[in-house]
Amino acid sequence: MTPVSNDHELRVSKIRHGTVIDHVRAGQALNVLAILGIDGGDGEEVSVGINVPSDRLARKDIVKVEDRELSQDEVDVLSLIAPDASINIVREYEVVEKHRVERPDAVEGVLSCPNPGCITTGGEPVTSQFEVLEDGVRCAYCGTITREEIASLIDT
């Protein structure tokens, strides 16, 4: 992807089929790739725009994933680090579906509790569960609240 920009416009090549994740907070694109399990070694074609101009956010990141439509679980986790994001499903170069992410009430099995004393980190066969707060997440088992660095808790 080669962005070409002037004072009023950003142009990025279109994808034929796949998902465009737009309006990601600047600096979060690499965390989006981690959530999606994209590490550059699996042959997925991905375009990333980092810290590009945005009318809505001042600066934003954009992630385009060719030949992949996101699951609802993936969108739920994305909403934790990119609450302003929009998801665009593209088929034959046309956006056929567009929606904003919505934060779920809870997420299960996608985050690790940062509390070393939590039952979920002690080797017990327990799936992590977090209540989604307005400004963070709370572990359902030990009550630990994380407001910053939620991306660092993501199980990949």
**Fold (CATH) for 106-153:** SH3 type barrels. (2.30.30)
Q: Summarize the confidence of residues 39-53 as an average pLDDT.
A: 83
Question: Binding site for Zn(2+): what residues are annotated?
Answer: 113, 118, 139, 142
For position 86, what pLDDT does the model report?
Answer: 94
> 8 pLDDT exceeds 60?
no
Q: What is the mean pLDDT of the chain?
A: 85
**Fold (CATH) for 4-100:** Alpha-Beta Plaits (3.30.70)
Domain boundaries, the chain: 4-100, 106-153
For position 10, what pLDDT does the model report?
Answer: 47
Which sign does the torsion angle of CA 39, 40, 42, 48 carry? Answer: positive
> 78 pLDDT exceeds 60?
yes
Question: Binding site: what residues are annotated?
Answer: 113, 118, 139, 142
> 45 pLDDT exceeds 80?
yes
Q: Summarize the confidence of residues 49-58 as an average pLDDT.
A: 85
Instruction: Write out the two tokens for 152.
Output: 């660092």
Q: Give this prediction's pTM.
A: 0.77
Question: Could you give the C-alpha distances from 97 to 32, 79, 85, 87, in angstroms and in order?
Answer: 20, 17, 14, 8
